[in-house]
Amino acid sequence: MGSSSTRNRSGPNTASDCWRTSYAWRALWPRRRGTSLVSCSVPVLGVIPARLDSSRLPRKPLLPLAGEPLILWVVRRVAAASVCDRLVVATDAGEIAAVVEQAGYEAVLTSREHRSGTERVAEVIADKAFEDFNLILNVQGDEPLVALAALRGAVGRVQGGDPVGTAAGRLEPALAADPNRVKVVVDARGRAVYFSRAPIPFDRDGRGDVVYRQHVGVYAYTREALERWVQLPAVPEERSERLEQLRPLLHGIPIGVALFDAPAAAGVDTAEDLRHAELQLSRRLKGVSP
């Protein structure tokens, strides 16, 4: 089996950047005695959860995209960000594992019973083979066009003191009503206030000057935050919105959001999304800006 093993070159560059924190963070996220913030020197484990059966797009990770299985485009995209010291695909299917390993990357077989990608990632880090990793990057297996800035930014938020980090890009107002594009509102410290499939914030006066941010399906966590996340009970908002990140958020775990100005690339959830990704990849391969 192969693996990606490149050291983070994109996060904070100084000790003060890596270890910065605030009284508010300490109040919201009490730490056990003897634990500390995450340093830039801490190795990063990248995990790409990929399940075979998808309700909207069956066998999604293996569907052909620009001549290769979709999952391989995701693996290569994450590797290109150069933030992971080790990169694995966590899957419930031997078929997916075989494709990944034949391409020279590492795969781990996990349970079929997981209800979310986060649960699948938590199973991976419980294995002794990964016990040395205290910073984990989770990239959904249907994000072949994910922005490198999103991957680097999510990791950077955790290195900067947040227990969980994610990312969001710009969203055109005309697309804000699309429930497949998850919106996020952040506070003055760059932490998530709420995620929703509805257009938030609401443009009450119809002036058209609202700035919308589209959430990107990447998460970085400390080991402690991830282990706590999967032990928390579900919240009603998580069930109604079908958004797993509302669970830790509404239980008081801060989620730092790295913002970037480019439009967020949509994940592949439908056949139309797959066609769009095919077009975008074809343009990139030809050297044409999307």
d(CA 194, CA 215): 11
pLDDT band, very low/low/confident/very high, at 32 (cuts 50, 70, 90):
very low
pLDDT in tens, 59-69: 999 999 999 99
Find the domain containing 30 and state its range.
15-285
Nearest alpha-carbon partner for 19 in 45, 34, 39, 4: 39
Most confident listed range (54-63, 99-108, 113-122, 261-270): 99-108
pLDDT of 22 higher than 70 = no
pLDDT of 26 higher than 70 = no
d(CA 142, CA 50): 8
d(CA 151, CA 146): 8
Does 1 map to a domain?
no
> What is the maximum alpha-carbon separation in the chain?
56
Does 290 map to a domain?
no
Does 45 map to a domain?
yes
pLDDT reported for residue 267 = 85
pLDDT in tens, 128-184: 999 999 999 999 999 999 999 999 999 999 999 999 999 999 999 999 999 989 999
Name which residue leads in pLDDT, 152 or 26. Answer: 152
pLDDT in tens, 73-84: 999 999 999 999
* H or E segment and range at residue 248: helix 246-250
pLDDT in tens, 229-244: 999 999 999 999 999 9
pLDDT of 6 higher than 60 = no
Does 96 map to a domain?
yes
Does 7 map to a domain?
no
Q: What is the pTM of this model?
A: 0.83
Instruction: For the beta carbon of residue 244, count every other beta carbon within 10 angstroms.
Output: 19
pLDDT band, very low/low/confident/very high, at 56 (cuts 50, 70, 90):
confident
CATH of the domain at 196: 3.90.550.10
Contact 2, 106 (CB under 8 A): yes
Does 6 map to a domain?
no
pLDDT in tens, 184-205: 999 999 999 999 999 999 998 8
Assigned token pair, 107 = 């795969």
Does 8 map to a domain?
no
Average pLDDT, the chain: 86
Does 157 map to a domain?
yes
How many structural domains are present in the chain? 1
